[in-house]
Amino acid sequence: MQQYPGTQELRNSGTKITIIPAIDLIDAKCVRLSQGDYDRKTVYNENPLEVAKMFEDAGITRLHLVDLDGAKARHIVNYKVLETISSKTSLIIDFGGGLKSDDDLRIAFESGSTMVTGGSIAVKDRETFLHWIETYGPQKIILGADAKDKKIAVSGWQEVSELSILDFIESYTSRGIQKVISTDIARDGMLTGPSIGLYKEIMAQFPKLELIASGGIASMKDIYELDEMGIPGVITGKAIYENRISLDEIEEFYK
């Protein structure tokens, strides 16, 4: 199994932010939601493998694969898609959505995920999430810190808690977590730009954190801005699917 790259590798030898395309899955199809709303769904491709291969052909090495059916059902659903992409590409995949049990995690890793992301489970079942960190190590477990108005949201963003995002991250960095994907739900799928202020706050409090920004990316300008801030990684989906960011631009960025 491929190992998760550390901070230096994630930043391409410390010089570039890593651009991580997202594939969100409903009914095994590549979709995007707006602000996490399942009623505001756009299907972009019915063949996720085709999309993954397109990314790989462009020189991309990482993929963020989200099981939206799993997030709603609260158990892993689209593991066959994960298995197909992992076996037919060399992409390093982090997988999330609906991972609630040790069995879900076992299926995800056996299906080819290099890392898994836990969000709701980290809020609702802290004991299990800590067990995962201890069992698999912080290189394989990513904390999903998705927020609305700086409050953590769970269950496919269907529920907003009273837990502040900074307190939430601190509660897990103190227990070994090194990697966090943070999405500002209000910006996700809206193409309005990333939550720069939020990421500045997170990095100021946790300067060694391997933070992956997500949500709102509208153009390469946003990615350059995050890169200049020193953010290690960025997830983008809709901007690619709607040709706001071309794969040629991503290739040029790394040149």
Instruction: Please give the positions annotated as active site.
Output: 24, 146
Give the integer Cα–Cα distance in Å for 70 and 98: 4
User: DSSP string of the chain?
Assistant: -PPPP-HHHHTTTTTSPEEEEEEEEETTEEEEEETTEEEEEEEEES-HHHHHHHHHHTT--EEEEEEHHHHHHTS---HHHHHHHHHH---EEEEESS--SHHHHHHHHHTT-SEEEESHHHHH-HHHHHHHHHHH-TTTEEEE--EETTEEEETTTTEEEEEEHHHHHHHHHTTT--EEEEEBTTTTTT-S---HHHHHHHHHH-TT-EEEEES---SHHHHHHHHHHT--EEEE-HHHHTTSS-HHHHHHHH-
Give the integer Cα–Cα distance in Å for 9 and 31: 29
Tokens 């990314």 -> residue: 55
Contacts of 144 (CB under 8 A, 6+ apart): 96, 117, 118, 119, 120, 122, 180, 181, 183
